[in-house]
Each structure stands twice: as structure tokens, then as C-alpha cells.
Structure 1
Amino acid sequence: MKTINVLGYSRNNEQFVVKTQNSDVRISRNEKFPELEGPSPFEYILAGFAGCVNAVSQQVAAELGINLKSLQVEITGEASLEERVGFNKIEIVLKPTTDASLSVLQKWLQLVQQKSPVYDNLVNSTPVELILYKEYNYAA
């Protein structure tokens, strides 16, 4: 079991910054400050998913002895902003450059799907707790 923690904060409704173990990630879609625009939360979800699929793809290819010369991962999310806010559908297209046969690549794809933790979390129900902590200012 490994615990992964990030901390996000914003001040004065400006850019939202998330501190990760190795970097700061800036998320902003704020009409008030267009110069601070960055990827939306939806785009960050898809980017993280693409990064995970890439890492797992490379690992599985090595395990199967597949020589991946290059790999393109294209993820398209169909997002709804009305009834159920979120993705209605996510499509992943993998475009490997390799000499491996189609049957080997199909096995590779199946293993990538099975071993991807992000895929598992999006496809299966993962419990999420939303906790409120109110900071109180005490007047002395």
C-alpha cells in the first residue's frame, strides 16, 4: 500500500496550484485572469491517464519482449456539463511503432488495460470521501 498526497491551494480566487512530490501543477480557467490560463481539470485527468497508459505500455512491452520504437497515446473525453457533470465516455487510441505482430500487440493491449491503475480507478467504483475543515480565526 502506498499513500499518494497532493496539496492544492488558491488565494483570492486566482490560479489554483497543486503541490506534488516533485513539482507544482497550475490549474486555471478563470475569465478574471486570462493570462493565468492553463489546462482545465478535465484535461489534467486525461493527461494523467495518458501518462499512466504510456508508462504501463512501456513496462508491458518490455515484459513481452516488444521493441517499441515510439508510442503515441491519444485520449479523447466526451464531457457533459449538464445533468451528470463529468466524462460520459473516454476513448484511448494507442499507436505503437514496432515490428511486433498484430496478435502480440492485442495481448499487449489487453495487459496494458489490466495493469493500468488509472484505468482501474475510472472503470471501477473507488470510494471517495469529501471532508470539510473550517479554519476558525479567534479574536484575542
Structure 2
Amino acid sequence: MNANLINVLGYTGNNKQFVVKTLNTDLRVSENSKYPELEGPNPYEYLLAGFAGCINALGQSIAKEQGIVLRSLQIEITGDLTALSAEAKEAKPGFSSIEIKLKPATTVSREVLEKWMNEVQLRSPAYNMLVNNIPVSLVLNKDYLYN
């Protein structure tokens, strides 16, 4: 397998819980609105959580490269799903906007932090994917057999 490829496998069964298998763990995804008895984040929360995780890992790494000591880093991401509402029928599905607030605890100046934040944005695969229309192919395999 190509070392640059990241792969996850998702499946659902009769219990209506969607499970995603990753290299190190299983993630349970809930629709929350249809099945409130099923616990777990919904798919949109997972997208934002993954985005936050990517920013955190990259932010920590770039801070070390730039000699910035981060005591902590809080990342708050808010996505507006207005585009999915009934009154937005002509809009594209998904988030209409995403706001990311970075709250680093450090002693460096605002100017240094702005340089750090710009580098995180520049090098973030998640940011690049959301902003630059990365090609996605959807492939259907009809003859899937469940074991």
C-alpha cells in the first residue's frame, strides 16, 4: 500500500449505527436527529473535529519549527449548515461557512502568532481540501456481499 494513502472503511448494519474503521480505532457516527438513542457525533461534527485535529497537529509542529512555546492550544470551529435547511433549496449542500478560532496560550507577540497561523493555513491539507475543490471520485460497487 502507498505510504501516502490514508484509508478508512465505513459500514452500517441492522442497528443503523454507522461505524468507521481506521488504522487505530473504530469511530461511531450517529445521525442524531433520526436516531437520538444512538450515541456519537454526527457526520458534520466529525468533519469539523477532523479539521480541528489537523490544525492542532500542524500547529504544534510549526510552533516547534518557529521556536514558539505553546502551553496549550484551543481550537473552536463553527460550521453553518444553513445550506442544508429547507429554505435553502437552491444552495449547494453542506456548510455555507466555517469559522475557526485559534486560542494559543503563549508569551510570543501577536505578530509572531499571525505568522504562525498563516503558515498553519498554508500547509493544512484539510484547509486546502475545503478551499481548493480537490477532485473526488465516487465509485459504485454493486456486488458487495456482507459477511
Counterpart secondary structure, 1:87: coil
2:55 to 45, 53, 56: 53
Match of 2:112 in 1: 104
Counterpart secondary structure, 2:7: coil
Match of 2:76 in 1: 74
Gaps of 5+ in 1: none
For normalisation by structure 1, the TM-score amounts to 0.91
For normalisation by structure 2, the TM-score amounts to 0.87
List aligned pairs for 1:21-100, cutoff 5 A.
21-29=23-31, 33-79=35-81, 80-81=83-84, 82=88, 83-100=91-108
Counterpart secondary structure, 1:59: helix
What is the CA–CA distance in structure 2 between the aligned matches of 1:17 and 1:136, rounded to whole Å? 17
Cα offset, 1:85, TM superposition:
1.3
Q: Percent identity over the alignment?
A: 58
Question: Comparing 24-33 with 124-133, which one deviates more in the overlay?
Answer: 24-33
Q: Is the 8 A contact 1:75 1:90 kept in 2?
A: yes
Question: Comparing 74-83 with 46-55, which one deviates more in the overlay?
Answer: 74-83
Pairwise CA RMSD of aligned residues? 1.7
Q: Is the 8 A contact 1:71 1:95 kept in 2?
A: yes
Q: Is the 8 A contact 1:14 1:30 kept in 2?
A: no
4+ residue runs over 6 A deviation: none
Match of 2:134 in 1: 126
Cα offset, 1:93, TM superposition:
0.4
Q: Is the 8 A contact 1:29 1:37 kept in 2?
A: no
Deviation per CA, 1:66-108, whole angstroms, max 9, x where unpaired?
0101110000001121432101111100001100011111100
Change over 3 Å in CA distance of 1:85–1:136 after alignment to 2: closer
Cα offset, 1:13, TM superposition:
5.9
